[in-house]
């Protein structure tokens, strides 16, 4: 096992990784920008190295700075967390080339899944059900028109270098295909330096269901069920739950098995998430994420596992500490993301925290790097905390979420906490009756109401 690892991240996820490492007897190195000198991850790690100025591009995204910090401190492995360099092929390769262990999948797996058309083709060949569409890149408008007629409108044009909602265009009818195709390519060229696009049938009211998988890198892999992450705003998840409120045990076993088999076949190593759209009882693959996800704690809650510990174990060539048969789904978990944002428009709201009190009690977990007197810098993501609750069933989890939210105090700045009190009053949330458009529609309705008042 490693003696010392470096955490190439900040905020709550850096703490999450430090905690797992400490329980394993592994020393930790934090890296930070000059804006994060007083950040909790710097305080909590055994050592810290300042790697640059506030801008992420000069600090948390600096491969050179992070490799230097590794060299100086003698860290043997790097955990990238999520965001920043976690899915950067060049970084994963640099780390590998310096004989430092990247705690995550191989650079090759990151590359394959980072190109969305290649990812889809790879998964289709491995038996994963996909959204009907082109087999790979669509080079010409004529080809796009032809495919759209075969698929039947509406269709969606997606940048292969995109993902997570960036570089997509819907064509409702033949009049829109030329514009959708040309603008998708133009936008992709500017945003990613790669104009390649592919085409799919556009699903109108799906849910976003994602499967957590875990591989040992040597042909063994398991699934840890699904998460329903349909409640999103501008492609940012807001409220996630596991298991999915409309997924049956049979569906879970079927899709989970298909996913575990696929990643076993490719010798995938570590944690990964296979994303699907789910509509009318069918799963359609869209993308795979080759990192630990923000919402991983709800899966940890219902399966009673520590996914970061497992990531570190597998990176050190130890076997996974669970098998498919030993994994048992218990109860229901919900996560809400607390952002430093001002409602109703979600404007970023950095500033000084005058009082912070985390909720507690049975089935409550608060992952946050906040503390009394902490000043949230304006340079980074607005996520300041994740409240995760676990109950014996969905209604207990909802009641526990309501109770925990009422205990949570974050004073001095505006946050999205009031949003969750309001959502818990909604019948559709209480019954689990929502899809990927529900939250945006709800926000729109409530904004309009506010303006009329």
Show which residues are catalytic.
Answer: 291
| Helix-strand-coil split of the chain, %, nearest 5 | 35, 30, 35
Q: Name the minimum Å distance from CB 132 to ligand MV4.
A: 8
From the list 24-32, 74-82, 198-206, 242-250, the region that binds ligand MV4 by CB under 6 A is: 198-206
Contacts of 349 (CB under 8 A, 6+ apart): 340, 341, 342, 382, 413, 414, 415
Question: Taking CB under 6 A as the rule, does residue 208 contact ligand MV4?
Answer: yes
Measured between alpha carbons, how far is 446 from 62 in angstroms, rounded to an integer? 41
Q: Reduced to 3 states, what is the DSSP secondary structure of residue 349?
A: coil
Q: What angle do CA 393, 128, 266 make, to 5 degrees?
A: 105
Q: Name the minimum Å distance from CB 162 to ligand MV4.
A: 8
From the list 11-19, 76-84, 105-113, 202-210, the region that binds ligand MV4 by CB under 6 A is: 202-210
Of 84, 181, 202, 276, the residue at the interface with ligand MV4 (CB under 6 A) is 202
Per-residue contact track with ligand MV4, 45 to 84, x per CB under 6 A? Answer: ----------------------------------------
Distance between start and end Cα atoms, the chain: 61
From the list 10-18, 199-207, 330-338, 396-404, the region that binds ligand MV4 by CB under 6 A is: 199-207
Of 232, 269, 273, 311, the residue at the interface with ligand MV4 (CB under 6 A) is 232
Minimum CB distance to ligand MV4 smaller for 119 or for 258: 119
- Where do the DSSP E strands lie in 330-420? 332-339, 341-342, 347-348, 351-352, 355-357, 364-368, 375-376, 383-391, 409-411
Write down the residue that tokens 């262990």 correspond to: 101
Q: What angle do CA 115, 269, 30 make, to 5 degrees?
A: 90
Of 287, 300, 341, 367, the residue at the interface with ligand MV4 (CB under 6 A) is 287
Q: Name the minimum Å distance from CB 120 to ligand MV4.
A: 10
Minimum CB distance to ligand MV4 smaller for 98 or for 234: 234
Measured between alpha carbons, how far is 284 from 211 in angstroms, rounded to an integer? 12
Chain-centre distance for alpha carbon 435: 18
Q: What angle do CA 351, 423, 375 make, to 5 degrees?
A: 10
From the list 51-59, 195-203, 214-222, 291-299, the region that binds ligand MV4 by CB under 6 A is: 195-203
Minimum CB distance to ligand MV4 smaller for 216 or for 295: 295
Which residues are at the interface with ligand MV4 (CB under 6 A)?
131, 156, 164-165, 200-203, 208, 232, 235, 277, 286-287, 436
């Amino acid at each position: 096992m490693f003696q010392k690892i470096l955490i190439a991240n900040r905020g709550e996820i850096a703490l999450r990784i430090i905690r797992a490492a400490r329980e394993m007897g592994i020393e930790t190195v934090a890296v930070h920008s000059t804006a994060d000198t007083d950040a909790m991850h710097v305080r909590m790690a055994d050592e810290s190295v300042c790697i640059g100025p506030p801008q992420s591009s000069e600090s948390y995204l600096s491969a050179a700075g992070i490799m230097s910090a590794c060299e100086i401190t003698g860290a043997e492995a790097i955990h990238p967390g999520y965001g920043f360099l976690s899915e950067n092929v060049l970084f994963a390769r640099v780390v590998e080339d310096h004989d430092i262990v990247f705690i995550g999948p191989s650079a090759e797996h990151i590359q394959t899944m980072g190109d969305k058309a290649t990812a889809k083709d790879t998964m289709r060949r491995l038996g994963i059900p996909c959204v009907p569409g082109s087999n790979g890149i669509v080079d010409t408008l004529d080809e796009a028109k032809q495919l759209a007629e075969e698929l039947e409108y509406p269709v969606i044009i997606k940048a292969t270098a995109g993902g997570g909602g960036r570089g997509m265009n819907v064509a409702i009818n033949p009049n829109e295909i030329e514009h959708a195709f040309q603008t998708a390519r133009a936008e992709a060229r500017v945003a990613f330096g790669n104009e390649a696009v592919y085409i799919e049938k556009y699903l109108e009211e799906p849910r976003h269901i994602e499967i957590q998988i875990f591989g040992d890198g040597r042909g063994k892999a398991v699934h840890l069920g699904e998460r329903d992450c349909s409640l999103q705003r501008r492609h940012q998840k807001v409220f996630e739950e596991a298991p999915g409120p409309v997924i049956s045990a049979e569906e879970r076993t079927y899709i989970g098995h298909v996913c575990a088999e696929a990643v076993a076949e490719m010798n995938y190593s570590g944690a990964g998430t296979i994303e699907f759209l789910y509509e009318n009882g069918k799963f359609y693959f869209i993308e795979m994420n080759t990192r630990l996800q923000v919402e991983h704690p709800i899966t940890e809650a219902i399966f009673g596992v520590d996914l970061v510990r497992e990531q570190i174990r597998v990176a050190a060539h130890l076997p996974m500490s669970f098998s498919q048969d030993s994994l048992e789904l218990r109860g229901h978990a919900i996560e809400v993301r607390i952002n430093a944002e001002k409602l109703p428009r979600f404007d970023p709201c950095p500033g000084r925290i005058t009082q912070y009190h985390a909720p507690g009690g049975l089935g409550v977990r608060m992952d946050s790097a906040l503390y009394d007197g902490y000043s949230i810098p304006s340079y980074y993501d607005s996520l300041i905390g994740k409240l995760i609750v676990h109950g014996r069933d969905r209604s207990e989890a909802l009641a526990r979420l309501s109770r925990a939210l009422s205990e949570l105090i974050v004073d001095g700045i505006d946050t999205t906490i009031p949003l969750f009190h309001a959502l818990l009053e909604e019948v559709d949330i209480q019954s689990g009756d929502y899809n990927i458009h529900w939250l945006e529609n709800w926000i729109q309705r409530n904004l309009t109401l506010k303006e009329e008042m």
